[in-house]
Structures are given as structure tokens and as C-alpha cells.
């Protein structure tokens, strides 16, 4: 069975309670269930990891080089997560960057991701649906 890595960065473990007017009321568990539902037909298992620190996210990437694909919401590490960027540069599976909120409609420091140039795709501003769409994109991209 192939694994889909669902990787969430700092402050995303509190979804549901964290600024619901910005991020909505779905919890991370809701998002995990939605992604699992999306990829069940292909027989993929979702490996969901949320960490507050960049180093732990890097360790998780390094331990999952054989995943079929990955969905990454890096949180604020999008802004200056250079070590995470370097780890992603040698991460073999296809991966999609997701942001729940429309970062372009927010503060200017959120307008540029140092990670996005390496991603196979980016989904921004569609709330939890973005994770489902990223899963669909990976299903389409990875050969059966
Ligand atoms: C976020 C957007 C980031 O700017 C912010 O730091 C987050 C969440 C999003 O999903 O909209 O933590 O990645």
C-alpha cells in the first residue's frame, strides 16, 4: 500500500479553534478524514504529521522519501523556511503546497512563499477543500 504524506506545519494543530474567521471551523482531524476519503479508492494510506518546528518537519520528509506524494501546508514557514526549502529540494515524491486562507488578500509578508517554486502545484484560499483538491491532483499525477 502506498502512503500519502499529509504534512502540516506550525499552528495548524489548533485548526477549528485558531482564528476561525480566517481558517474556518474544520479541525485537522476533519481534514485528515477528508483526504483519506479522497484517496481511499486508490488504496493510499494517509500518514498525517503536524509539527511546530521546522527541524521535525524536515525529519518527517527525510523519513518519507518513498511516499506516493505529499500535501504540505507549511504555515508561516512559507515565508522564510529556508531549511525546509532545501529539504524539499531533495524530496523525491510529487508534492502540493496548500494554504487554507487567501494569503494574497492578507498581510504583505504572506505574499511570497520560498517553497512554492519547488512544488508541483499550489492551492490557495479554498479552505479545507484545498486539501481535497491537492489529493485529487496527486492521484492524477501519480501513475497507477
Ligand atoms: C496558512 C497561511 C500562513 O500565512 C499562516 O502563517 C498559517 C496558515 C494557511 O493555511 O492559510 O499558519 O498556511
- Mean pLDDT over each residue of the chain, to the nearest integer: 98
CA distance 131 to 134: 5
pLDDT band with cut points at 50, 70 and 90 for residue 82: very high
Q: How far is the CA of 144 from the centre of ligand 1 (A)?
A: 32
Over residues 20-41, the mean pLDDT reads 98
Q: Which atom of ligand 1 is nearest to the CA of 10?
A: 12
Over residues 114-133, the mean pLDDT reads 98
pLDDT over 90 at 140, yes or no: yes
pLDDT > 70: what percent of the chain? 100
pLDDT over 90 at 130, yes or no: yes
pLDDT digits (tens, 9 = 90+) for 48-81: 999 999 999 999 999 999 999 999 999 999 999 9
Q: How far is the CA of 1 from the centre of ligand 1 (A)?
A: 31
3-141 CATH, one of 3.40.50.9100, 3.30.43.10, 1.10.10.60, 3.40.50.1370: 3.40.50.9100
CA distance 101 to 113: 14
Pinpoint the alpha helices (H) of the chain: 20-23, 28-39, 54-62, 77-80, 82-89, 129-141
Residues in Cβ contact with 126 at an 8 Å cutoff, skipping those fewer than 6 apart: 100, 133
| Cβ 7 vs Cβ 91: under 8 Å | no
Task: Supply the residues annotated as catalytic.
Answer: 23, 99
For the chain, the structural domain boundaries read 3-141
pLDDT at position 1: 84
CA distance 99 to 128: 9
What residues flank ligand 1, with Cβ below 6 Å? Answer: 11, 73, 75-76, 99-101, 103, 110
CA dist 70 to 19, 36, 46, 83, 138, Å? 26, 13, 9, 18, 8
pLDDT band with cut points at 50, 70 and 90 for residue 132: very high
Amino acid at each position: 500500500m502506498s502512503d500519502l504524506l499529509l504534512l502540516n506545519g506550525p499552528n495548524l494543530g489548533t485548526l477549528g479553534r485558531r482564528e476561525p474567521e480566517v481558517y474556518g471551523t474544520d479541525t485537522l482531524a476533519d481534514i485528515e478524514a477528508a483526504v483519506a476519503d479522497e484517496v481511499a479508492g486508490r488504496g493510499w494510506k494517509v500518514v498525517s504529521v503536524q509539527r511546530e518546528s521546522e527541524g521535525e518537519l524536515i525529519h518527517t520528509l527525510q523519513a518519507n522519501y518513498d511516499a506516493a506524494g505529499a500535501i504540505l501546508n507549511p504555515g508561516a514557514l512559507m515565508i522564510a523556511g529556508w531549511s525546509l526549502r532545501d529539504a524539499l529540494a531533495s524530496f523525491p515524491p510529487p508534492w502540493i503546497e496548500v494554504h487554507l486562507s487567501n494569503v494574497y488578500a492578507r498581510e504583505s509578508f504572506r505574499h511570497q512563499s520560498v517553497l512554492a517554486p519547488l512544488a508541483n502545484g499550489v492551492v490557495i484560499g479554498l479552505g479545507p477543500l484545498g486539501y481535497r483538491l491537492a489529493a485529487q491532483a496527486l492521484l492524477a499525477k501519480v501513475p497507477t
